[in-house]
């Protein structure tokens, strides 16, 4: 249990600003609002573990803990050519993988931009667009033989109530998607229908969440990987769970010991019991397309972090603490402050904070900024990013404490822009784990960047599912 590991609470120090007294005061207040103290991290982990237990036990819990129907671990000897389709991050990606059977593979891929109208229009139109992209990919880049039915792994990174390896109904949309006529429908049937109507010879052999794909992809080269995490546009995690712990499982008498569970951890604490929500987060949530949902995700993932910073900055402008009280059209717009700016701002060590000045004055057209203004904006970005890392660490801590892997050490595969690009994200993660469990345990938890792993994982799962289907048909 986590209480066995109690360390001393660590004091976090407020950064100094060379600006006005009001700016220093504002920073102190914001720092405390965005800080996740060691004590509150511990409370969050405890709550997380309770919610995990409920989600494994029954449907309708806050954490859905969805059985993925992926039971085996890859061996690295898998072979064959498979397509993968990845929807749910910034772009739609279509990839063809050739698994070579010796832990090696080759890939070629193409990205397609999903227009905003498609993200919030009719589901049928989105499926038709995806089918057209796959068709274009096969024609332009594919190496499959024309007569073969191509097997595809579909990474659909939204909460899906999975009912088989290639079946699942959409529970709700996240990350700014909101297509009509999709909720409670089987997303595989809808997309397969578009392939059929367009005479595209593709079979969707597996429906895969990106976290599950990331876990499997990393396990191909590091079989002991036990967890896959996405910290990108959205956030979520998957891990291997003992079947005996998935007490809600009614899958009949299949013989296997463990199954990958897609936690959908972005939904954690929608009751707001333990998450340290500030007024800036409340505003992000209220103005989002899915208010009161995915609160954990809204504190952590790339879709929202810039917007949290923007809300804090605007609030300071309104109090005349920043930019002499003057904002700009760009900064006043919802989503006007991109999360990507945060990384550039945080690494700016130039004497006059020139890069920060460029973003604020040239890109966002703020009339003028002082050195103190720029320092304050930088500190806000650090505080918001650091909070995201500390909260992510709470999720990791809960899973590893639950599976009992803390002492033995664990391999965690992570993908996503926030993890990859936010400066010191991994340091903050490990620091928090250190506060929770002590240095020895924290250092035994290894994070590997599994860049673009989900497509590869989906192709591999499609392969496993296709082979299993063939074997079943032969019986």
**So which residues are the catalytic ones?**
175, 210
Rounded distance, CA 51 to CA 276, Å?
A: 17
**Residue among 118 and 322 whose Cβ is closer to ligand BGC:** 118
Contacts of 97 (CB under 8 A, 6+ apart): 81, 82, 83, 84, 105, 106, 107, 455, 456, 459, 460
Asked if residues 190 and 385 have their Cβ atoms less than 8 Å apart, the reply is no
Residues 475, 115: contact at Cβ < 8 Å? Answer: no
Q: How far is the CB of 267 from ligand BGC (least distance, A)?
A: 8
* Least distance between ligand BGC and beta carbon 237 (Å): 8
**Cβ-contact 181, 124 below 8 angstroms:** yes
Which of 166, 162, 161, 169 has its CA nearest to residue 203? 166
Q: Measured from the CB atom, is 142 or 159 closer to ligand BGC?
A: 159
CB of 160 to ligand BGC, least distance (A): 7
CB of 195 to ligand BGC, least distance (A): 22
| Least distance CB 218 / ligand BGC (angstroms) | 15
Q: Which is nearer to ligand BGC, 179 or 359 (CB)?
A: 179
Tokens of 396: 């990791």
Rank residues 69 and 158 by Cβ distance to ligand BGC and give the closer one: 158
Give the nearer residue to ligand BGC in terms of CB position, either 94 or 187: 187
Residue whose pair of structure tokens reads 């989002």 in the numeric block = 288
User: Going by C-beta distance under 8 Å and a sequence separation of 6 or more, which residues neighbour residue 286?
Assistant: none
C-alpha dihedral (440, 416, 159, 129), degrees to nearest 10 = -160
For 172, other C-beta atoms within 10 Å of its C-beta total: 17
Range 139-145 contact pairs with CB under 8 angstroms and sequence separation of 24 or more: 140/110, 141/96, 141/108, 141/110, 142/83, 142/96, 143/81, 143/96, 143/98, 144/81, 144/83, 144/96
Q: Quote the least distance from Cβ 234 to ligand BGC, whole Å.
A: 2
Report the helix count and the strand count for the chain, using DSSP H and E: 17, 13
Residue matched to tokens 């909260």 = 391
In the complex, least distance from residue 148 CB atom to ligand BGC, rounded to whole angstroms? 30
- Which parts of this chain interact with ligand BGC (CB under 6 A)? 88, 157-159, 174-175, 209-211, 230, 232, 234-236, 264, 266, 297
Task: Please identify the residue of the shown chain whose CB is closest to the bound ligand BGC.
Answer: 234
How many CB atoms sit inside 10 A of residue 16's CB? 10
Angle at 56 between CA 53 and CA 58, to 5 degrees: 105
Distance CA 439, CA 461 (A): 36
Name residue 258's beta-bridge partners.
242
Closer residue to ligand BGC in complex, CB, 263/342:
263
Question: Between 231 and 463, whose beta carbon lies closer to ligand BGC?
Answer: 231
Q: Kindly report the CA angle at 375 between 374 and 380, in degrees rounded to 5? A: 100
Of 19 and 385, CB closest to ligand BGC: 385
Strand partners of residue 99: 80, 105
Smallest distance from the beta carbon of 348 to ligand BGC, in angstroms? 29
Does residue 421 contact residue 385 with C-beta atoms inside 8 Å? no
Cβ of residue 261: shortest distance to ligand BGC, in angstroms?
A: 12
CA neighbours closer than 13 Å in the CB half-sphere of residue 333: 10
Toward ligand BGC, which CB reaches closer, 235 or 343? 235
């Amino acid at each position: 249990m986590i209480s066995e590991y109690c360390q001393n609470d660590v004091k976090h120090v407020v950064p100094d600003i060379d600006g006005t007294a009001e700016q220093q005061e504002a920073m102190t207040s914001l720092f405390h609002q965005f800080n996740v103290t060691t004590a509150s991290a511990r409370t969050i982990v405890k709550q997380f573990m309770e919610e995990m237990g409920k989600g494994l036990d029954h449907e309708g819990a806050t954490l859905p803990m969805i059985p993925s129907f992926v039971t085996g671990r890859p061996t690295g000897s898998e072979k064959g050519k498979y397509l993968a389709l990845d929807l749910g991050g910034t772009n739609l990606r279509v990839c063809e993988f050739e698994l070579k059977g010796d832990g090696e593979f080759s890939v070629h891929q193409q990205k397609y931009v999903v227009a905003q109208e498609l993200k919030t229009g009719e589901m049928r139109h989105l499926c038709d667009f995806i089918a057209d992209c796959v068709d274009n990919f096969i024609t332009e880049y594919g190496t499959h033989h024309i007569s073969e039915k191509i097997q595809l792994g579909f990474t659909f990174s939204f909460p899906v109530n999975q009912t088989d390896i290639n079946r699942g109904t959409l529970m709700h949309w996240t990350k700014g998607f909101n297509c009509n006529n999709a909720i409670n429908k089987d997303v595989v049937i809808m997309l397969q229908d578009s392939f059929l109507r367009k005479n595209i010879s593709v079979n969707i052999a597996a429906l895969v969440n990106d976290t599950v794909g990331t876990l499997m992809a990393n396990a191909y080269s590091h079989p002991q990987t036990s967890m896959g995490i996405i910290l990108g546009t959205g956030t979520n995690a998957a891990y291997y769970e003992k079947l005996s712990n998935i007490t809600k499982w009614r899958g009949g008498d299949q013989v296997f010991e463990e199954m990958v569970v897609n936690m959908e951890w972005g939904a954690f604490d929608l009751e707001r019991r333990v998450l340290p929500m500030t007024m800036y987060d409340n505003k992000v949530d209220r103005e989002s397309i899915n208010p009161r949902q995915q609160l954990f995700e809204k504190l952590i993932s790339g879709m929202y972090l810039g917007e949290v910073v923007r809300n804090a900055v605007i609030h300071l402008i309104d109090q005349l603490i920043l930019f002499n009280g003057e904002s700009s059209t760009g900064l006043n717009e919802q989503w006007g402050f991109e999360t990507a700016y945060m990384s550039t701002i945080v690494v700016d060590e130039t004497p006059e904070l020139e890069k920060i000045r460029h973003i604020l004055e040239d890109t966002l057209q703020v009339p003028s900024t002082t050195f103190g203004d720029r320092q304050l904006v930088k500190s806000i970005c650090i505080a918001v990013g650091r909070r995201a890392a500390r909260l992510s660490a709470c999720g990791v801590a809960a899973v590893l404490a639950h599976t009992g892997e803390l002492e033995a050490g664990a391999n965690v595969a992570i993908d996503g822009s926030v993890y990859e690009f936010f400066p010191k994200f991994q340091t903050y993660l490990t620091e928090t784990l250190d506060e929770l469990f002590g240095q020895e345990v924290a250092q035994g938890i290894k994070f590997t960047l599994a860049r673009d792993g989900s497509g590869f994982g989906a192709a591999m799962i499609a392969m496993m599912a296709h082979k299993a289907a063939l074997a079943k048909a032969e019986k």
